[in-house]
Amino acid sequence: MSVRLLLVLLSLLVCTVSVQAAPPQSKNNPPAAASTGVDVPILLYHRIGPTVADGMTIKTSLFEEHLKYLRDNGYTVIPLRHLIDYYQKKGPAPAPKSVVIVEDDAHKSVYSDMFPLVKKYKVPVTVFVYPSAVSNAKYALTWDQIRELKKSGLFDFQSHTYWHPNFKKDRRKMSPAEFEKSVTMQLAKSKARIEKEVGGTVDMLAWPFGIYDDYLLKKAAEAGYVTTFTIEARNATASEKLNKLPRYLLINSDQGKAFTQILSGSAGKRNIVF
Ligand SMILES: [Zn+2]
């Protein structure tokens, strides 16, 4: 037998083995992202304003450029809830070129700068709120504004804990018992307050500063959160764990090519400092 023939036979054998090894697609064995096309960027904004006042602010004009790019290039902004329904097997897979938009912190610019554009482009947005600031801190939305945004049908409000603690620092300075009590309060009180003020179900949580670990994930599940969100910068695929979905934290340099790379999932590692 020639070496060439041997190589051909070997490659055939490898192909056969790999085909046989491919698991059948079933409910318990979800298909890989490539075969379903699920590849959804969850775009995370913080503050929108006429000037870039800090690292977390995106110019209002750039936010509009993002929305215009999505519209003009065949993307569909879907409600975050639709993506969660898919992961919970309550809804269909999101269509190709689906994108999700979220905001953390319920900054007042959600009302002043984001809302007019959200109405203009008719895109759904999920806002992660920490209630201690609402109707209290100068930089935050008020409950009345939140209710008005919700009434527009374009906004959903979910939890960002009660007062945005740094769980890493808290764990260092508190006793284990104190820490557990604090975490339980942060998760439960936020959910209860938003449900009372705004209505609807609060079962999604965005981790402040993106800080979480197995203990916190367990506490979130116990508090009734079906899903939590990190700031791991990559697209959500079919094989995600529902309790830690990735999101892209956007900054003002995410324009032009940088933005299209995020959409295509090829943005690479990002160094965002809080
Ligand atoms: Zn935050």
User: Domains of the chain by range and CATH?
Assistant: 37-263 (3.20.20.370)
Residues near 119 by beta carbon (within 8 Å), at least 6 away in sequence: 152, 154
Mean pLDDT of the chain: 88
d(CA 123, CA 101): 8
Measure 153 CA to ligand 1 centroid, in angstroms. Answer: 23
Half-sphere exposure of 226 (CA within 13 A, CB side): 12
**pLDDT tens track for 192-222:** 999 999 999 999 999 999 999 999 999 999 9
Residues with CB under 5 A from ligand 1 (ion): 104-105
Measure 122 CA to ligand 1 centroid, in angstroms. Answer: 25
d(CA 178, CA 184): 10
Measure 34 CA to ligand 1 centroid, in angstroms. Answer: 32
pLDDT for the residue 267: 78
Measure 165 CA to ligand 1 centroid, in angstroms. Answer: 9
Measure 131 CA to ligand 1 centroid, in angstroms. Answer: 12
Q: Which two tokens stand for residue 168?
A: 């890493």
Measure 132 CA to ligand 1 centroid, in angstroms. Answer: 12
Q: Alpha carbon of 9 to those of 2, 14, 19, 21, 102: distances in Å?
A: 11, 9, 15, 18, 52
**pLDDT tens track for 161-185:** 999 999 999 999 999 999 999 999 9
Maximum Cα interatomic distance, the chain, rounded to a whole number of Å: 82
Q: Alpha carbon of 45 to those of 85, 114, 128, 210: distances in Å?
A: 22, 10, 10, 14
Residue count of the chain, please give it: 274
Measure 104 CA to ligand 1 centroid, in angstroms. Answer: 5
Percent of the chain predicted with pLDDT > 70: 84
Measure 107 CA to ligand 1 centroid, in angstroms. Answer: 10
Lowest mean pLDDT among 11-25, 39-53, 100-114, 118-132: 11-25
Measure 39 CA to ligand 1 centroid, in angstroms. Answer: 24
pLDDT for the residue 265: 86
Measure 44 CA to ligand 1 centroid, in angstroms. Answer: 10
pTM comes to: 0.86
In this prediction, residue 23 has a pLDDT band, given cuts at 50, 70 and 90, of: very low
d(CA 170, CA 166): 6
Q: Which two tokens stand for residue 136?
A: 């209290």
